[in-house]
Amino acid sequence: MVAVRNVDLLILGMGAAAELAAIYAHDALPDLNILIASKALKGKGGCSRMVQGGFNVVLNPEDSHEKHLMDTLKGGQYVNDQDLAKQLVEEATPTVKELETVCGCFFDRYPDGRIHQKPFAGQSFDRTVHKGDLTGIEIISRTTEQIFKRRIPVLEETRAVELLLDASGETVTGALLYDMRRDEFLAVQAAATLVATGGGPTQYRFHAPGPEKSADGIAMLYRAGARMRDMEMIQFHPTGLIIPGSVVAGALLEEGLRGAGAFLYNGAGERYMQRYAPDVAERATRDVVSRSSYMEIMAGRACSEGGVHIEAAHMGAEFVLSNFPGMAERCAQFGYDLARGRVPVSPAAHFFMGGAWIDTECRASLHKLFVAGEDAGGVHGANRLGGNGIGESCVYGRLAGKSLARFLRNDRSIKETAPGLIDALTARLREPLARPGGRNPLEVRHDIQETNWTQVGVVRNKDDLEAALSTFDSLRHDVEHATVAPSRACNMIYNVWLDTRSMIDVSIMAATSALLRDETRGAHTRLDFPKQRDDYGLFNTFLRRGPDGKPVTEKKPVQFKHKSLEDCRQWKK
């Protein structure tokens, strides 16, 4: 029998979006019964904590929200949800100030006391706020302290595995959780549920997010029937460390390094970005640099380690060590000297631009369901600018908290979960523990990652995408019929199996959406359609899970509500 717990607000995740939502909801309604479920330990997991570079925000009188918006739309290649993009840039300014005044963050300063802002790729102004190159640790450390201060309860090492629905299937009633320490399920029913688990495209061979990430939130949203968007748009960060044999292969050397003047070289010693983006070279947007690096590697011009090299030594060892201490230390751990030599890097899967459809109140398509951070889509369009990721998490966490407080001020009723649903889900999730003869989830995960890397990766084509979908059908069968040895606590292989359930769902969504877009745009590159086609491609892809479990898709034209196509095309960074 699964224990059931009722709360006013259930928050899934504990990154910046989740923590700020909890803080702002609590401060608006201090009597609110809030519960946070975190897959990791408090303040120790997730992608927000891993942010190195910084937070894009308009603070300087010579900058403007207009410029930041145009940079964001240009970077997103015009297919952003303009309401969300406008909200991001306008709300970033009060959000970063309140990170300091409400949460206690302290960002780097100019000598006169103003918050320091540094250059980032794709920006028309130096607007990136940071704490050295360890910005995420500063934000998460301080926001976690505020969670403690408000005594908001947290279930650590407790992952969400499914959203719960009422009998109609149109209202979310909470979530089924899995306590990884105790090997126990818990059903939490709530008047409102926020999904803010973070994305993390770890379904690729090289990936930047930490090993606990597996796109659980995006997969749960899809399985629950939420409307999803732009799932073909997966960002590959251009500079993931090549670390042979290591589970952290793909760990990032962040945007600020190239923004400060680091160079990229192919195996022949050529600064190849001068060919692909002569005006901005290494400071081109992530999609351009990743695609260029990949093309150099595929053309046989890789360095001896199999990727390309990044070099910062020409800026001076003292400058590199004082401005990028976290990156320098990370490189040194693996025998690389960032301050004095060249370091091998490769594009690494980094970020979902797609996710659940939301409105400006963070409401998703199902009743009583809210989404914030990387689990939501639309803000970034076809490519996210460096510094807009932690910005989105903080901005929409803050906004979600306020929106949830408004919602719960008027309605704290908990709808009844569909009869038998909790027991049926739990029984299904226990099946691998009693099944003989299935595949090991570690092998299945490897096959998912290799299929995505070779066929749904940096560069795509129709034949590969169709082959990938066929392979994913087979791998879904392997996931559903896998075998896991029973263990009463901390069953690592069982958690890998739960990861593969999420990975296969997001893989199918990405490949299906990629087949719908017969062009190259932003992070989506099609070798068989190498041109960006504005006469054709100004649409967003949407999908839902159909009755047969497969995606039902549609395309809808981009709404140019605030800036016209011509405005976007003419904008020069």
Asked if residue 9 has pLDDT above 90, the reply is yes
Given 258, 398, 476, 526, which residue is catalytic?
Answer: 258
243 and 385 belong to one structural domain? no
Q: What is the pLDDT of residue 122?
A: 84
Tens-digit pLDDT profile for residues 538-550: 999 999 999 999 9
pLDDT exceeds cutoff 70 at 186: yes
DSSP string, 460-528: B-HHHHHHHHHHHHHHHHHHHT------SS--HHHHHHHHHHHHHHHHHHHHHHHHH--S-BTTB-BTT
Q: Is there a single domain that holds both residue 88 and residue 212?
A: yes
**Residue 488 in this model has a pLDDT that exceeds 80:** no
- Three-state SS at 137: helix
Q: For 207-221, what is the mean pLDDT?
A: 91
Q: Quick check: 503 pLDDT over 90?
A: yes
Summarize the confidence of residues 287-291 as an average pLDDT.
Answer: 88
Indicate whether this model's pTM tops 0.85.
yes
360 with 343, same domain? no
Q: Answer yes or no: 524 catalytic.
A: no
Least confident of 92-101, 276-285, 352-361: 276-285
pLDDT at site 52: 80
How far the first Cα of the chain sits from its last, in Å, is 59
**Does residue 236 register a pLDDT over 80?**
yes
- Within-domain flag for 529: no
Residue 508 lies inside a defined structural domain of this protein: no
| Domain annotation covers residue 388 | yes
Q: One of 237, 286, 350, 398 is an active-site residue; which one?
A: 237
Q: Please, which residues bridge with residue 309 across strands?
A: 265, 344
pLDDT at 368: 98
Whether 143 and 103 have beta carbons less than 8 Å apart is answered as yes
Report the pLDDT averaged over residues 298-325: 93
Res 375: pLDDT: 98
pLDDT in tens, 433-471: 988 999 999 999 999 999 999 999 999 999 999 999 999
Decide if pLDDT at 10 tops 90: yes
Neighbours of 450 (CB within 10 A): 13
Confirm whether 139 is domain-assigned: yes
Q: Which of 361, 380, 410 is the last residue of a domain?
A: 410
Q: Is residue 53 part of a domain?
A: yes
Asked whether residue 222 falls in the same domain as residue 268, the answer is no
Q: Does 239 lie in the same domain as 196?
A: no
Same structural domain, 66 and 109: yes
Q: Are residues 94 and 64 in the same domain?
A: yes
Residues 216 and 242 grouped into a single domain: no
Is 484 part of a structural domain of the chain? no
Note whether 94 and 121 are same-domain residues.
Answer: yes
Domain at 43, CATH number: 3.50.50.60
Q: Which residue has the higher pLDDT, 307 or 155?
A: 155
Residue 469 lies in a domain: no
Mark which of 325, 350, 375 sits at the end of a domain. Answer: 350
Residue 191 has pLDDT above 90, yes or no: yes
Q: What is the β-pairing status of strands 34-37 and 154-155?
A: parallel
> At residue 29, what is the residue type?
L
Last residue of a domain, one of 410, 439, 457: 410
Domain containing residue 107:
3-233+353-410
User: Pick the residue with more confidence: 509 or 251?
Assistant: 509
Total number of domains in the chain: 2
Write the pLDDT tens digit of every residue in 91-103.
Answer: 999 999 999 999 9
Same domain, 360 and 307: no
Euclidean distance between CA atoms 139 and 136, whole angstroms: 5
- Tell me the CATH number at 272: 3.90.700.10
Task: Kindly tell me the burial class for residue 437, based on how many C-beta atoms sit within 10 Å of its own C-beta (0-12, 13-18, 19 or more).
Answer: exposed
The answer to whether residues 346 and 359 belong to one domain is: no
- Residue 275 forms part of a structural domain: yes
State whether 50 and 191 are in the same domain.
yes
Question: pLDDT band for position 248 (50/70/90)?
Answer: low
